[in-house]
């Protein structure tokens, strides 16, 4: 729960400002997205839009006046905002290229593009916006049904050793052992033929989300160690179930395990 107003550090003004919270969205950068973990964004985004039945509605000047602190701040940076390419000079507070904004507020999987392993997590309520582009920042995956269980099923598959192994064979490798988990890397990736509502996998993913949330809030070293052991064991169960869903042989599993090891 956010306060009515939020104090923020303006990158334009290099000073602390106060903005109305209900025009702000939490903004994630790639490194802030961790596997199965609830994100902790360090930035917010001014979002001068509303959504209605999958339609994006731009804020007019009368709408902006409902947020006097934010509009005052935007006016103080108006000269810089007008220098953006493709800007609407009449409604200069809007985004020049408002792409994929409706997806941001849907239930989705968000993930780091550049990573050593799958770093996918669930944004169940469509809370988070993210910075994307190329191999930097993050990406999102949605389903047509917006079904949370389908997203959890996919989350288990995507965070598995099998997916990391697949990406390591098809994607570009960068310094430090990082791979690109971008769109092109998944062009030939297929899902198992089983039902996307596999309850066993969904329950394990629920457990992983719960354990990672507990770990994030844990302040006791011994308890932290216990949680990490539980996470590792649950992760192993997910990997074994994913192998089963893909009907892998013992030899195929051994190749993946030897290649990925215990790093993921």
**How confident is the prediction for the chain on average, in pLDDT?**
91
Counting Cα atoms < 13 Å in the Cβ hemisphere of 245 gives 26
From the CA atom positions of the chain, what is the Rg in Å?
21
Q: How far apart are the first and last CA of the chain?
A: 33
pLDDT above 90: percentage of residues in the chain: 69
Supply φ then ψ for residue 26, to 5 degrees.
Answer: -65, 130
Is the pTM higher than 0.85? The answer reads yes
DSSP-assigned letter for residue 11? T
**Cα–Cα separations (whole angstroms), residue 160 to 142, 212, 262:** 18, 16, 12
Give the helix/strand (H/E) hosting 148. helix 148-158
What is the structure's pLDDT at 135? 55
Token representation of residue 42: 């360090």
Q: Give the containing element (helix H, strand E) for 27.
A: strand 24-28
* Of 263, 32, 262, 241, residue with least CA distance to 153: 241
**Residue pLDDT, tens place only, 19-52:** 999 999 999 988 889 999 998 899 999 999 998 8
Question: For 184, which DSSP code?
Answer: G
Residues 199-232 pLDDT 10s: 999 999 999 999 999 999 999 999 999 999 999 9
pLDDT at 104 over 70: yes
In the numeric block, the tokens 């074994």 are attached to: 240
Closest of 100, 143, 110, 119 to residue 28, by C-alpha: 110
**E strand or H helix that includes residue 17:** strand 15-20
Q: What is the pLDDT of residues 147-197, one digit of tens each?
A: 999 999 999 999 999 999 999 999 888 888 889 898 888 988 999 876 666
pLDDT at 134: 57
Closest CA relative to residue 205, chosen from 96, 124, 260, 135: 124
Q: For residue 96, give Cα distances in angstroms to 84, 89, 93, 236.
A: 7, 10, 9, 45
Phi, psi dihedrals of residue 90, rounded to the nearest 5°: -80, -45
């Amino acid at each position: 729960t956010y306060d009515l107003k939020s104090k923020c550090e303006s990158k334009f003004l290099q000073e602390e400002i106060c903005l109305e919270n209900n025009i702000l969205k939490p903004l994630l950068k790639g490194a802030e997205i961790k596997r199965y973990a609830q994100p902790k964004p360090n930035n917010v985004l001014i979002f001068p839009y509303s959504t209605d039945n999958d339609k994006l509605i731009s804020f007019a000047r009368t709408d902006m006046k409902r947020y006097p602190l934010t509009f005052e701040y935007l006016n103080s940076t108006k000269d810089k905002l007008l220098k953006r390419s493709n800007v609407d000079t009449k409604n200069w507070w809007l985004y020049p290229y408002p792409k994929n904004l409706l997806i941001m507020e849907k239930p989705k999987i968000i993930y780091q593009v550049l990573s050593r392993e799958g770093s996918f997590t669930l944004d169940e309520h469509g809370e988070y916006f993210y910075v994307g582009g190329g191999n930097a920042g993050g990406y999102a995956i949605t389903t047509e049904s917006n079904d949370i269980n389908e997203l959890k099923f996919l989350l288990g598959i995507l965070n598995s050793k099998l997916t990391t192994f697949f990406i390591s064979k098809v994607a570009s490798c960068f310094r430090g052992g990082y791979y690109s988990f971008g769109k092109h890397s998944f062009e030939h990736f297929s899902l198992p033929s089983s039902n996307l509502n596999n309850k066993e996998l969904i329950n394990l993913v629920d457990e992983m989300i719960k354990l990672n949330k507990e770990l994030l809030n844990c302040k006791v070293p011994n308890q932290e160690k216990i949680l990490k052991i539980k996470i590792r064991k649950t992760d192993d169960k997910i990997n074994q179930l994913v192998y089963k869903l893909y009907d892998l042989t013992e030899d195929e599993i051994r190749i993946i395990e030897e290649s990925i090891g215990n790093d993921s």
